[in-house]
Amino acid sequence: MRRSVVYLSGLGFLFLLLAGIFFHAMYRQEHAVPRLNEMARIVKDLELTDLCLFTEARYTRHPSQADLQTAFQDHPMAMEHFPSGSFMKIPEGIGRNNGYETLDK
Amino acid sequence: MKRWINKQKNIIDFTISSLLRRKGKNTALFFVYTVIVFLLSSVMFYTHALKKEAKIILQSTPDIVVQRTMAGRHDLIPVRYAEEIRKIRGVNAATPRLWGYYYDPQSRANFTLMVSESHPLPSGDIIIGSGISRTLKVFQGDMMTFRTFKGDLLTLQVADILSSKSELVSSDLILLSEEDFRYLTGMAKEQATDVVVRVRNPKEFKTVAVKIVNLLPDTRPILKDEILRTYDSIFDWRSGMVVLVIFISVLAFIIFSWDKASGLSADERMEIGILKAIGWETSDVINMKFWEGTAISLTSFLSGVVLAYVHIFFTSAPLFVQVLKGWSILYPSFKLTPFINPYQIATLFFLTVVPYTVATIIPSWRAATVDPDSIMRS
């Protein structure tokens, strides 16, 4: 078989796989509805505010409830004490006049 | 048309043979390229899916959470604050919330303790998250011992385990009765952790929040919108560690693109000279180089994207888990829902394939326009 045919077939196969991931994503999204609803129900029932992703420190377990100055308490972009701190962006409110500051009197 | 297709096929045949002549170098290039695309796509897929999931799940989070601050830090809120907040026009309900943390020195895990009105429990019973059950091997009917604020031991029985489907929000939760919570933490009867406020009209969240601050100046209201925005900014692919990964990948990519763009090897120049001498047009040479660039970049791109998808959505991102876990003992076990869109794929394509293809064509075009005789002599 010609090399060009082998190459183009391989490329075609990869494109099919790329299309396949979109179909797979659509399929999984449909099947995820009960799981997402269940989580949304628990969030509503228990009045939760955060995802349980980083349990190592207060402000990483509940970043939305942390003091404004808790995460990145040294200075913005400082090396964090906890590894997951390096995944978090500096809170939007720091140094800017947005909704946070007007409420935090 | 048929003639054009045949010509392209012949050029591809020649290009593949040419690439195979430098098998080692091109395999290494393909490998590095695929790894870079894989890393970039993994980060993009992971953060986007997590953000999207957080947005859906946290839609039902409280409208406003009111904290009390003292000396710039979160402090316990008096229960009577809830009564005062209830009097504000537009407020549907204001309920004190009891929750906190418990550090277990034996397992070195942090739990989130919570009293829930929706799960009323008799004193002595607890409901635990499935992350705690899995990590500590504690099951329904087992006993768990806690050390109270006074130092004495409190033993509670596991009445139930929260569904593992909800692990992303409840992995480290321990639900207990108000009596046990106050006994364990020493929180006084007239105090709570914060107050949850439900507002009738979503347009009035901010107005109500301002009224709360005016009425109770030592409080800090956190709006639902701010909670949602927190997750949007934490997992923004242009932030934190994510931006570092992308920066390193793009830098590596620039280095090898630059290597390509800065000139052709003597062998490659010689090859172009010979092709021109035996009658290839400049356009044919550029066409060949286009296929060469495409063969490497498009193949690596597609392989990288597909591998990243498998990594994130089939195997739950094993490469990222260790980094995300940090020092946590409890980490939720969850499979993300693949939320991907053509915009992400297009961004990755323009970040990786287009610059590389351009970088291979320009030096070839330069070499192809020079007299073949002078190329071969040099």
Question: How buried is A68 (Cβ within 10 angstroms: 0-12 exposed, 13-18 middle, 19+ buried)?
Answer: middle
- Is there a single domain that holds both residue B35 and residue B109? no
- Is there a single domain that holds both residue B176 and residue B74? yes
Distance CA A97, CA B354 (A): 40
State the nearest Cα–Cα gap between B254 and chain A, in angstroms. Answer: 25
Strand partners of residue B125: B157
Question: Is the CB of A3 less than 8 angstroms away from the CB of B16?
Answer: yes
With a cut of 50, say whether residue A97 has pLDDT above it.
no
State the nearest Cα–Cα gap between B372 and chain A, in angstroms. Answer: 27
Question: Is the CB of A51 less than 8 angstroms away from the CB of B58?
Answer: yes
Question: Is the CB of B328 less than 8 angstroms away from the CB of A48?
Answer: no
How many distinct structural domains can be found in chain B?
Answer: 2
Question: Is the CB of A36 less than 8 angstroms away from the CB of B324?
Answer: no
Please list every residue in chain A whose beta carbon sits closer than 8 Å to the beta carbon of residue B248.
none
The DSSP-derived string for B300-368 is HHHHHHHHHHIIIIIS--HHHHHHHHTT-S------------HHHHHHHHHHHHHHHHHHHHHHHHHHH
The DSSP-derived string for B128-184 is E-HHHHHHHT--TT-EEEEE-TTS-EEEEEEEEE--GGGHHHHTTEEEE-HHHHHHH
Question: Is the CB of B169 less than 8 angstroms away from the CB of A28?
Answer: no
Write out the residue range of the structural domain in which residue B219 sits: 63-223
- How many contacts, defined by CB atoms under 8 Å, are there between A and B? 216
Strand partners of residue B119: none
- Is there a single domain that holds both residue B262 and residue B352? yes
pTM of the model: 0.82
Q: What is the DSSP letter of B205?
A: H
- Is there a single domain that holds both residue B199 and residue B286? no
**Does ipTM top 0.90?**
no
State the nearest Cα–Cα gap between B281 and chain A, in angstroms. Answer: 21
- Is there a single domain that holds both residue B193 and residue B213? yes
- Is there a single domain that holds both residue B48 and residue B79? no
pLDDT, residue A79, reads 43
Please list every residue in chain B whose beta carbon sits closer than 8 Å to the beta carbon of residue A91.
230, 233
- Is there a single domain that holds both residue B272 and residue B367? yes
B189, B223, B257: which is the final residue of a domain? Answer: B223
Looking at chain A, which residue has its C-alpha nearest residue B313?
Answer: A25
- Is there a single domain that holds both residue B94 and residue B241? no
Looking at chain B, which residue has its C-alpha nearest residue A17?
Answer: B306
Question: Is the CB of A105 less than 8 angstroms away from the CB of B62?
Answer: no
Percent pLDDT > 70 in chain B is: 94
Distance CA B282, CA B312 (A): 44
Mean pLDDT, chain B cut into blocks of 10 residues (378 residues total): 84 86 85 89 88 90 92 89 92 94 88 90 92 91 93 93 89 94 94 94 91 93 88 67 70 72 72 82 83 87 95 88 74 86 89 80 75 71
* pLDDT, tens only, B361-378: 777 777 777 777 776 676
Question: Is the CB of A52 less than 8 angstroms away from the CB of B165?
Answer: no
User: Which CATH number covers residue B89?
Assistant: 2.40.40.20
- Is there a single domain that holds both residue B36 and residue B170? no
Distance CA B324, CA A53 (A): 8
B169, B201, B223: which is the final residue of a domain? Answer: B223
Distance CA B42, CA B305 (A): 8
State the nearest Cα–Cα gap between A81 and chain B, in angstroms. Answer: 10
* pLDDT, tens only, B297-332: 899 999 999 999 999 999 888 888 777 776 777 888
**H or E segment at B91?**
strand B91-104
Q: Which residue has the tokens 């009577």?
A: B80
Q: Which is it for the CA torsion A27, A29, A35, A41, positive or negative?
A: negative
Question: Is the CB of B326 less than 8 angstroms away from the CB of A84?
Answer: yes
- Is there a single domain that holds both residue B201 and residue B131? yes
Looking at chain B, which residue has its C-alpha nearest residue A58?
Answer: B101
What amino acid is encoded at A23 in this protein? F
B166, B193, B223: which is the final residue of a domain? Answer: B223
State the nearest Cα–Cα gap between B375 and chain A, in angstroms. Answer: 28
- Is there a single domain that holds both residue B249 and residue B194? no
With a cut of 80, say whether residue A101 has pLDDT above it.
no
